[in-house]
Structure 1
Amino acid sequence: MRALLVVNPAATTTSARTRDVLIHALASEMKLEAVTTEYRGHARDLGRQAADSEDIDLVVALGGDGTVNEVVNGLLHAGPNPNGLPRLAVVPGGSTNVFARALGLPNDAVEATGALLDALREGSERTVGMGLAAGTPGTEDEAVPSRWFTFCAGLGFDAGVVGRVEQQRERGKKSTHALYLRQVARQFLQEPNRRHGTITLERPDAEPVTDLVASIICNTSPWTYLGNRPVYATPKASFDTGLDVLGLSRMSTVSAARYATQLLTSSPERGAHGKHAVTLHDLDQFTLHSKVPLPLQMDGDHLGLRTSVTFTGVRRALRVIV
């Protein structure tokens, strides 16, 4: 077996020595080429090269959710073709590692490498669905390139939080859950549309959902983690179905506190709920329109402002070693 290992040297929870140990362990079981990323988008380029190659059987992403997202976008650059593309494996090295943990992998890089090698020996894999977001035809965002996401996306409030976290990291702050919670509070205090949302969700053969402040799109569950605590925004979401959506149409101080409490105490059976919350399950396609430009995020990566995005749930998009 020939494998490509894509290594993010800035991964927050692995040291250079740990990465060397992991590379040695993987190389003992396969013909391995390890490449360290050198710029933003490099992992995507490497994934694309692997997809176009006839020699690569497996691509291993060593890093956080951002690295995994880039690799996936490279592998799927020409569209899904599970049996014709290299398989994907993940060794978590980020601060949260939602995709890897949602697959049931250990959150420790060394343990995850052991689990990966065991899975390869046993031939254990699954084919998972992915989300695809694109600029909506006929709108000013029509020319925005499409992009795949592995576990979540968001337009509005949560994407604003992601943008704030990225700004803090660019200033040298370490990515921690405490940093994320502080930015949630700041986004709430400065959110201009929290009482009267600007987002409308449209889908075929259904009435539109209007006046949303926040729209969280999930490709799996949990939505995220706070330390070891899973947070379930849409508990029914799965890699085996379409996309799920949690929409919030009001975020007053009282309602925001209620939804925050519900999310922090959420379970696989119940997420956020109430008069101003709507949950939609297993959607193949829908469009979010906003009256004003709003921040967009995918897999925790802030992508700028958008007014209209069309989301598609693509079943059986990629084979993953588990």
Structure 2
Amino acid sequence: MRALLVVNPAATTTSARTRDVLIHALASEMKLEAVTTEYRGHARDLGRRAADSDDIELVVALGGDGTVNEVVNGLLHNGPDPDRLPRLAVVPGGSTNVFARALGLPNDAVEATGAILDALALRSERTVGLGLAAGTPGTEDESVPSRWFTFCAGFGFDAGVIGRVEQQRERGKRSTHALYVRQVVRQFLEEPHRRGGLITLERPGEDPVKDLVLSIICNTAPWTYLGNRPVYASPAASFDLALDVLGLSRMSTPAVARYATQLLTSTPDRGPRGRHAVSLHDLTDFTLHSKAPLPFQMDGDHLGLRTSVTFTGVRRALRVIV
């Protein structure tokens, strides 16, 4: 089997020595080409090359969720075709690794590599659904290129938090859970629309859902992790279905305290709930509009400001090794 290993050298939880060990372990079982990314978007370009290749059967992404997102967007640059495209395997190397952990892989890179090799020997894989976001026709964002996401997207408050975290990382701060918590507090204190949201969700055949402050789009559960604690924004979300949405229409101090507590104590059977919470399940097509530009993120990557985003849930988009 010929495989391409995409290595992010800035992966926060693996050292150069560990990466060398993992490369040798994988190379012992397959014909492996290992490429270290050198610029933002390089992993996407490598995924595209693999998708257009005639003989690459497997792409292994060694890095965090951002690296995985780039590889997936490269693999699917001509659209989903799970029977033709190379399979994807993920070795977690980031600070959170939501996609890999949601697939059931160990959060340790060495253990995950062992699990991947075992799965390859057993021919164990699954075909997962993914989310696709694009600029909405007829709006100022219609020219924004479409982009795939593996586990979540966010429009509004949570994307603002991601943007703040990225600013701190550019200033040399380490990506830790404490950093995220601090930026959540700062985003809340400076959020101008927390008592009346700007977002409207529209879907075919249904009344619009208006005045949302926060909108989280989930492709799987859990939504994220705080250390080893899974956090479920949409517990019923699944790689086997389309997309789930959690929306909040009010973020006063009491409401935030209530929903934060519900998130921290969420389970696979119970997520946020209440008068100002909207939970929608298994949506194939919908659009989020805002009265003013708001932050937008996908798989933890801040993508700037948007006024409208159209989402599509695509079942059976890509084969992954598990």
**Residues 131-150 of structure 1: CA deviation (Å, up to 9, x unaligned):** 00000000000000000000
1:91 shift after superposition:
0.2
Q: Which residue of 2 aligns with 1:309?
A: 309
Read off the aligned partner of 2:21 and give its amino acid letter.
Answer: V
Read off the aligned partner of 2:301 and give its amino acid letter.
Answer: D
Mapping of 1:100-115 within 5 angstroms? Answer: 100-115=100-115
CA distance in 1, matches of 2:279, 2:76: 28
Q: Which residue of 2 aligns with 1:286?
A: 286
Q: Which residue of 2 aligns with 1:235?
A: 235
Q: Which residue of 2 aligns with 1:270?
A: 270
Is 1:156 aligned with 2:156? yes
CA distance in 2, matches of 1:184, 1:285: 29
CA distance in 1, matches of 2:290, 2:256: 21
**Residues 32-82 of structure 1: CA deviation (Å, up to 9, x unaligned):** 000000000000000000000001000000000000000000000000000
Q: Which residue of 2 aligns with 1:219?
A: 219
**Matched residue of 1:45: which SS?**
helix
CA distance in 2, matches of 1:210, 1:120: 47
Mapping of 1:1-322 within 5 angstroms? Answer: 1-322=1-322
Read off the aligned partner of 1:287 and give its amino acid letter.
Answer: T
What TM-score do the two structures reach when normalised by structure 1? 1.00
CA distance in 1, matches of 2:165, 2:266: 23
What TM-score do the two structures reach when normalised by structure 2? 1.00
The answer for unaligned runs of 5 or more in structure 1 is: none
Alignment RMSD: 0.2
CA distance in 2, matches of 1:192, 1:39: 35
CA distance in 2, matches of 1:261, 1:54: 50
**Matched residue of 1:83: which SS?**
coil
1:92 shift after superposition:
0.2
Read off the aligned partner of 2:18 and give its amino acid letter.
Answer: T
* Identity value in percent: 86
**Matched residue of 2:46: which SS?**
helix
CA distance in 2, matches of 1:194, 1:42: 37
**Matched residue of 2:83: which SS?**
helix
Read off the aligned partner of 2:247 and give its amino acid letter.
Answer: G
CA distance in 1, matches of 2:284, 2:69: 20
